Amino acid sequence: MLESKVVELLNQQVNKELYSAYLYLDFSNFYYDQGLDGFGNWYKIQAQEERDHAMLFVQYLQNNGEKVVLETIDKPQVELTCAKTVLEEGLKHERYVTGLIHTIYDAAHAVKDFRTMQFLDWFVKEQGEEETNAEGLVKKYELFGDDPKSLYMLDSELGARTYSAPSLSL
């Protein structure tokens, strides 16, 4: 049995990760609509990863005999105005998610729940990588976004991203 506050936060994280998947699917659709299929591909795969994250939280709760409670997933809250703004919103969202993971970690630490801390270690590292990727996208767009030829090449690069399952298995 895990402590109730930790369980509550882990359950909330299932919803947050599914919201992230929903948000990034919205981003993906926006880019496809703009004719930037590579960016669309990148965010479609990002949405798949977020769904995987949700499933890892579900599996962890179930492995510990805890009930999974699904809540309503909000409509994506970000206004999709231009290609660069969407990338900036992606970075902002990843920083927000990092904060959520740290909050669960804090709660687990406070009750000496070492098992949950160990589970969350993977997510702490993953968030570091995701923030770096999101920062990289913003920087690249700042450098190349205004030049059509460079933007085409950047879009092609992002179109080459392929999905791979998370390295964490439970």
Q: Which is closer to ligand FEO, CB of 3 or CB of 52?
A: 52
53: its two tokens: 């994250």
CB-nearer residue toward ligand FEO: 11 or 20:
20
Among 25, 27, 36, 50, binds ligand FEO (CB under 6 A): 50
d(CA 4, CA 129): 30
> Does 94 contact ligand FEO by CB under 6 A?
yes
Structure-token match 């990338």, residue found = 87
User: Min. distance of Cβ 151 from ligand FEO in angstroms?
Assistant: 25
Question: Is residue 53 part of the contact set for ligand FEO (CB under 6 A)?
Answer: yes
Q: Which of residues 14-33 bind ligand FEO (CB under 6 A)?
A: 17, 20
Q: Can residue 137 be called a binding residue for ligand FEO (CB under 6 A)?
A: no
Which two three-digit tokens encode residue 133? 């990727």
- Min CB(28)–ligand FEO separation in Å: 14
- Tell me how far apart the alpha carbons of residues 13 and 131 are, in angstroms, rounded to a whole number: 18
List the x/- string, 54-93, binding to ligand FEO by CB under 6 A.
----------------------------------------
CA distance 142 to 137: 9
Which one among 97, 104, 107, 158 touches ligand FEO, defined by CB under 6 A? 97
Binding positions for ligand FEO, rule: CB under 6 A: 17, 20, 50, 53, 94, 97, 130
